[in-house]
A and B are shown apart, each in its own frame.
Chain A
Amino acid sequence: DAMVIQNPRYQVTQFGKPVTLSCSQTLNHNVMYWYQQKSSQAPKLLFHYYDKDFNNEADTPDNFQSRRPNTSFCFLDIRSPGLGDAAMYLCATSKRTGALYNEQFFGPGTRLTVL
């Protein structure tokens, strides 16, 4: 089945230690998104790629970076995690054709703990 896969599902890191979260998709979608969801809150968009074009949200801290080496993979890098970065990180994809907006498909998420 076509899907969005996130690895790992649970990640523990230490304060200040760089961490990378991975997302892959078999849907061949041209848009990939990263969201941060803190406990009991709505998902908050960090950035997205439309093909190779990177689009950062204005309020996303510089501590968060992303890479998309090919259509299938997208990575979220947190350069120096702080305690406030502990959250669920959701990857999503969508297929954008011109001005037509299609729904986003979400992965299961990676829960990040910062010690």
Chain B
Amino acid sequence: GAVVSQHPSRVICKSGTSVKIECRSLDFQATTMFWYRQFPKKSLMLMATSNEGSKATYEQGVEKDKFLINHASLTLSTLTVTSAHPEDSSFYICRAQIYTGVRNQPQHFGDGTRLSIL
């Protein structure tokens, strides 16, 4: 079945560092990728939606200059947390949308990246 690979699975870094998270669709083309953020014991919160070759659409309250999203190809989207601070520590999850022309398809998530900023 369709697989979404997210890398790295865990990052621990110092405050002020920029961190890049990759999301790849391994055996399908993803026209749209979604990025979520999840705090401990909370539900997933959509941060942004990215379409291949165009600018990402950010949800209200999400700083686009803080969370840079690039979707340069149909199999790769990246989320860069710029100048990360402790409050950016969270679990980040990507989701890839398969383009099949049939819309009611299961969605495919990456396994998440746990970001810890010291």
Same complex origin of A and B: no
Q: Give the interface of A toward B (CB within 8 A).
A: none
